[in-house]
Amino acid sequence: MNTTPASTIISTTLLVIGGGPGGYIAAIRAAQLGIATTLIEGEQLGGTCLNIGCIPSKALIHAAEEFEKTRHYASGSALGITVQAPSIDIAQTILWKDGIVSKLTGGVAALLKKNGVQVMQGRAIIVDGKTVEIQQQGVPDQRIVCQHLLLATGSLAVELPGMPFGGNVISSTEALSPATLPKSLVVVGGGYIGLELGIAYRKLGAEVSVVEALNQVLPAYDMELTKVVEVSLQKLGINLHLGCTVQGLNQAGDAVVIRNAQGEASELPADKVLVAVGRTPRTQGYGLETLMLDMNGRAVGIDDQCRTSMRDVWAIGDITGEPMLAHRAMAQGEMVAEIIAGKKRHFMPASIPAVCFTDPEIVVAGQTPAEAKAAGVDCLTAMFPFAANGRAMTLEATEGFVRVVARRDNHLIVGWQAVGKSVSELSAAFGQSLEMGATLEDIAGTIHAHPTLGEAVQEAAMRALGHALHI
């Protein structure tokens, strides 16, 4: 006789798999619109972003910056500040970082509950486009039948075939919660994840080397921006190995073997090796293949409403490919909820700003000069340096610039780029101007508060029009 308890069946209108930024936003918005919504999360609410990505990394970056600042003051400062032999208790730093994460994930849980979303913890296994099974250790399986299925399962760090994660080889997840600080760290991958964490570890006192197969750091960004960051990396004492490939660990496991473009091999000592060569959509391990969806490479294919090739099955965020940004997933999730509720929506943003929290920061929105040229758009381009900005001087942060790209014929702005201290905070202004169809004259004619870094935005527009005032 079979004594296994029969699985219970639950019905809902919208079933969301994944409680990251895209999934929880979709669930909250759907519930606000009166849609019966259930969300399944196998780990922690908030997904990669809140737990092991955006938020904890920025917390660690901030702590590293503050520590590096005290070390700078210990050797004398033009500001007249001196301190004695600063030290850092990394365990306390991680405790503080984890406290921030806990508050935010707790806040997500409270918002879901407040809006009437049914949250279920467990492993989701897709049976078909209308049915999902939840598996939980020690608990009878449950089945959920839904009208709409939303896939928001996120992404995973990519492993190197010859250096799988484990032991001294770590992903960004382990790098964000070190028990102790390594004396030497080798970062494999010169993209934004590798550089953000590499810079933080260097400021915390580790010897850091970065290995990148291409000939520039941040290869997804244009060189005019990245060369400012590269100069900063050199000032920090980070060793760059560009145009080099990783062969694996040496026999002792305490060094990374690399090979340069000339075929010459060398070893980089490493207490820890951070592999940050990208992320891949999470499409395995939960029965997605049973749906036989159209794919876009490794990502799930979607249209401009985030519909997949199966009716009433939707996908948002990292599972749908690049750009893998939390704010993209959030916007998609909100839109899907509204479409299910009967509203007419399409995902056609004028831009999705991207930020690198390196030192200095980089922000890009819309088209770069090269992208505009490739698209056949005749553009004006103008740059305003922070060296001519009063606020930047008072922050001891005069490196970098703001750049604007606009059509030559009607001065419609098609792109913004900036590199410098705290330029991430300019991303909202960049996005708004692009979404609202601003022209150079609109930005130049808007009074910007003085003294602020934002004045460089106005000055860039004025310079494109031929009448910058402070350069």
Phi/psi at 375 (5° precision): -85, 0
Q: Are 295 and 309 in contact (CB under 8 A)?
A: no
Residue 30 to residue 13: CA distance in whole angstroms = 10
Pull the structure tokens for residue 395.
């922050």
Radius of gyration, alpha carbons of the chain: 24
Which SS3 state, helix, strand or coil, does residue 54 take? helix
Q: Are 148 and 48 in contact (CB under 8 A)?
A: no
Strands 255-259 and 265-269: antiparallel
- The catalytic site residues sit at 450
Residue 384 to residue 470: CA distance in whole angstroms = 9
* Torsion angle defined by CA atoms of residues 366, 30, 425 and 194, in that order, rounded to the nearest 10 degrees: -80
Q: Are 305 and 339 in contact (CB under 8 A)?
A: yes
Q: Using CB atoms within 10 A of its CB, is residue 316 exposed (0-12), middle (13-18) or buried (19+)?
A: buried
Pull the structure tokens for residue 73.
């003051």
Angle, helices 192-203/223-236, rounded to nearest 10 degrees: 20
Phi/psi at 297 (5° precision): 70, -125
Residue 223 to residue 295: CA distance in whole angstroms = 32
CA distances from 76 to 85, 159, 276, 417 (A): 12, 43, 35, 34
Pull the structure tokens for residue 107.
């806040």
